[in-house]
């Protein structure tokens, strides 16, 4: 069975600082990996996804993630945090190629300090 | 139109009530999903409809009854719920049933008294 691990529950950065949200996956077959963001009182929105093409994936709002098979990681980064980035971030994995088999991590809250 | 619209946004119901949640999309998507999300937790899949047919039921109690009247609409009928069913209920849709982008609605915040 596949799974993702997001260590910690909360990350706080200053506005303009680097954002790094960690995600490690476990899968016996090549995975599809995703990052979703959830703003308060909203549904989830797809930031980016890895589906076995380029290992460096660029998403919306200046976010990107790099698939590293040797480290079983798919960390999310953004060079410069903005106040509007404050939200809950979920890493997710699917190995069957189906949204119906998407497994979410527990999520991590990003706070941005002025 | 790239929205998934959910109504109502908030719902308070007693344990003996019957209520329904509604979800609508006009993107021509053929897969629709119901998720349950407790506070500070990830979403949990409940049901999947593919081409208007129920394809997945994640062992959800029968007090939750999904319905897909047509390709644009998805309902979740609620009856005899328990307080522990209080949660954010999210609807989502995707073009197909693969790993296409999931579009989520804003959810219905349900409180069961």
How does pLDDT run across A80-95, given as a tens digit for each residue? 999 999 999 999 998 8
Nearest-CA distance from A24 to chain B in Å? 16
**For residue B7, which of B75, B54, B79 has the smallest C-alpha distance?**
B75
pLDDT at res. A96: 75
Nearest CA in chain B to A105: B42
Where chain B has pLDDT below 50, the residues are none
**For residue A78, which of A47, A39, A33 has the smallest C-alpha distance?**
A47
Can you tell me the distance from the alpha carbon of B61 to that of B65, in angstroms, rounded to the nearest whole number? Answer: 9
pLDDT at res. B1: 66
**For residue B104, which of B38, B41, B27 has the smallest C-alpha distance?**
B27
Q: In degrees rounded to 5, what are phi and psi of residue B55?
A: -110, -25
Contacts A33 to B, Cβ<8 Å:
none
Can you tell me the distance from the alpha carbon of B58 to that of B66, in angstroms, rounded to the nearest whole number? Answer: 12
Omega of the bond leading into B8 within 30 degrees of 0 (cis): yes
pLDDT tens track, chain A, 114 positions: 789 999 889 999 999 999 999 999 998 888 899 999 999 888 999 999 998 778 999 999 999 999 999 999 999 999 999 999 999 999 999 887 777 778 899 999 999 999
Contacts A40 to B, Cβ<8 Å:
none
**For residue B87, which of B62, B106, B112, B64 has the smallest C-alpha distance?**
B112
Can you tell me the distance from the alpha carbon of A62 to that of A19, in angstroms, rounded to the nearest whole number? Answer: 11
Query: CA A56, A57, A63, A68: dihedral to nearest 10 degrees?
Result: -50
As beta bridge partners, residue B62 has none
- Quick count: other Cβ atoms within 10 Å of Cβ B8? 13
The answer to whether the Cβ–Cβ distance between B102 and A99 falls below 8 Å is yes
């Amino acid at each position: 069975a596949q799974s993702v691990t997001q260590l910690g529950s909360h990350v706080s950065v200053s506005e303009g600082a680097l954002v790094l949200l960690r995600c490690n996956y476990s899968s016996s077959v090549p995975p599809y990996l995703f990052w979703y963001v959830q703003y308060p009182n909203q549904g989830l929105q797809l930031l980016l996804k890895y589906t076995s093409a380029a290992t460096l994936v660029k998403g919306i709002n200046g976010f990107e993630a790099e698939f590293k098979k040797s480290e079983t990681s798919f960390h999310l980064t953004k060079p410069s945090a903005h106040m509007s980035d404050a939200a809950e971030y979920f890493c997710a994995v699917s190995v069957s190629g189906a949204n119906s088999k998407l497994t979410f991590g527990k999520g991590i809250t990003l706070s941005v300090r002025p | 139109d790239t929205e998934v619209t959910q109504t109502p946004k908030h719902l308070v119901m007693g344990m003996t009530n019957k209520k329904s949640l509604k979800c609508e999309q006009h993107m021509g998507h053929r897969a629709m999903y119901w998720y349950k999300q407790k506070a500070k937790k990830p979403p949990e899949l409940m049901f999947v409809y593919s081409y208007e047919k129920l394809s997945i039921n994640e062992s959800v109690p029968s007090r939750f009854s999904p319905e897909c009247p047509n390709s644009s609409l998805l309902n979740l009928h609620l009856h005899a719920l328990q307080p522990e069913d209080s949660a954010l209920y999210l609807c989502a849709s995707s073009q197909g049933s693969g790993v296409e982008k999931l579009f989520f609605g804003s959810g219905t915040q349900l409180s069961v008294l």
